[in-house]
Amino acid sequence: MEAVNPATGEEVETYETQTEEDVDDALDRATDAFDEWRARPLREREELLEAAGDVLRENKREYAETMTREMGKPITQAVSEVEKCAWACDHYAEHASAYLQPEHHPSPSGSTVKTVYEPIGPVLAVMPWNFPFWQVFRFAAPYVTAGNVGLLKHASNVPGCAKAIEDVFREAGYPEDVFQSLLIPSDLVDDIVEDDRVRAATLTGSGPAGRAVAATAGENLKKTVLELGGSDPYVVLDDADLDAAVETGAWARNQNGGQSCIAAKRFVVHEAVYDDFLDRFVEEIDSYVVGDPMDEETDVGPQAKPSLMDELHEQVEESVEAGANVALGGEPMDREGAFYPPTVLTDVPEGCPADTEEVFGPVATVYEVSDEEEAVEKANDTQFGLGASVWTEDRERGERLARQINAGCVYVNQLVKSDPRVPFGGVKESGYGRELSEVGIKEFLNEKTVWVE
């Protein structure tokens, strides 16, 4: 398994892929670890998670550089990602006990009835490369603290990140095998999901990958949580603060090289402010520094792999052939590495790739609408339903429109983000289930009714 720097094309390091026999051994060890781990007092598990947060902060530059070398994230954004992981650890170290308190119910006189929350066993996590630390910690921090044990199948282009995350738990003092990284090819995932020793699975990734895991899990009566991408609308109404909408929108599309499920992708702008917004939007994006991701001044680094850049450019080319106009960018950069410039498309025809598909890179599509009803209609005109943003100076108007948009989360006058304090997840083709907050920690628990007469 090779890690290749997308900024240079050079091999970073090679890792030995684990075999089916290695996986079988790992599942045995995970099962044994679960028997001991679930019996640990919750307060001890919280303290270990707090220690994991400390390990992350102490080594954040090292972990950030691993991310940047393997998938091209600009170094300042990589450092922020590690810090966010530490925040998630802090959150569940502080709140897990409250989230998992037994819930009491009305009952006959002399009896006590309550729901208690118990772990179910080893949980497989199939995670993507775009946020190689955060995606893992938003699953591991709650699920492992609740008493489950974790098995990580990370993306094949970030094996160093996978091993580093395993080391975080080890250095924090976790018992051996409570969290394991499996460096395996994707064709072993189905067998793991089918295995009786694995009790649930969570996946963040593509629709086909999610369907495959869900189908196998369903056949084996195992619960899944899926986050499968998005094409998030960013609605700018006629009374929006354009300075804020432009600045935040440009960053919401281009941070992490535009490689984010919850990035703002389709900009739906009221005709009264369309021209002004578009001019400022293009100017703001054009000011971004594209370059060496190890440089602190870089805003946009390379795409994670040359093949991904090629797919992105094919979507742009097909959309332009269909009639879309390129207001900025639109061609791979003439330099070493998988660099694609921040791009803005207007006059995007209905049905072209940039209109209907998830565009996973720094390409924004901008639409003009005549009123808020048309804005909501366009926002909902997608197979996805992960997140959305609405921009208006009228907070009541913003909340009213937020209720009309079909998405797992809608932010008014803010970019879409995942936050450990609130549930995160999507509807429609963006998946099901929720991560984070109290809802997230309970996804893979047995909600057991205990009636004592």
CATH 3.40.309.10 domain span(s) along the chain? 232-412
Residue 97, CA distances (Å) to 13, 41, 170, 299 in order: 41, 10, 23, 39
Contact 182, 153 (CB under 8 A): yes
Query: What is the per-residue pLDDT for 398?
Result: 98
Q: Where are the alpha helices (DSSP H) in 195-271?
A: 207-219, 242-254
- In the 8-state DSSP scheme, what is residue 40? S
Residues (pLDDT < 70) of the chain are none
Query: What is the per-residue pLDDT for 105?
Result: 97
- Going across the sheet that includes 122-126, the strands are 179-181, 149-153, 122-126, 200-204, 223-227, 431-432
For 308-342, how does the pLDDT look when each residue is reduced to its tens digit (9 = 90+)? 999 999 999 999 999 999 999 999 999 999 999 99
Core vs surface per residue 419-437: b (16+ CB within 10 A) or e: ebeebbbbebbbbbbbbbb
Dihedrals phi, psi of 200, to nearest 5 degrees? -165, 165
Query: What is the per-residue pLDDT for 58?
Result: 98
Q: Known catalytic residues?
A: 227, 261
CATH 3.40.605.10 domain span(s) along the chain? 2-228+428-452
Contact 179, 171 (CB under 8 A): no
Query: What is the per-residue pLDDT for 229?
Result: 92
Query: What is the per-residue pLDDT for 120?
Result: 98
Nearest alpha-carbon partner for 6 in 182, 257, 205: 257
- 2-228+428-452 CATH fold: Aldehyde Dehydrogenase; Chain A, domain 1 (3.40.605)
In CATH terms, is domain 232-412 a member of 3.40.640.10?
A: no
Give DSSP secondary structure letters for 389-440. Answer: EEE-S-HHHHHHHHHHS-SSEEEESS-----TTS-B--SGGGEES-BSHHHH
Nearest alpha-carbon partner for 204 in 256, 303, 126: 126
Q: Maximum distance among all alpha carbons in the chain?
A: 78
Residue 351, CA distances (Å) to 126, 206, 224, 323 in order: 31, 20, 31, 11
Enter the tokens of residue 426. 């999507």
Core vs surface per residue 69-92: b (16+ CB within 10 A) or e: bbbbbbbbbbbbbbbbbbbbbbbb
Query: What is the per-residue pLDDT for 253?
Result: 98
What pTM, to 2 d.p., does this model score? 0.98
For 222-250, how does the pLDDT look when each residue is reduced to its tens digit (9 = 90+)? 999 999 999 999 999 999 999 999 999 99
Query: What is the per-residue pLDDT for 213?
Result: 98
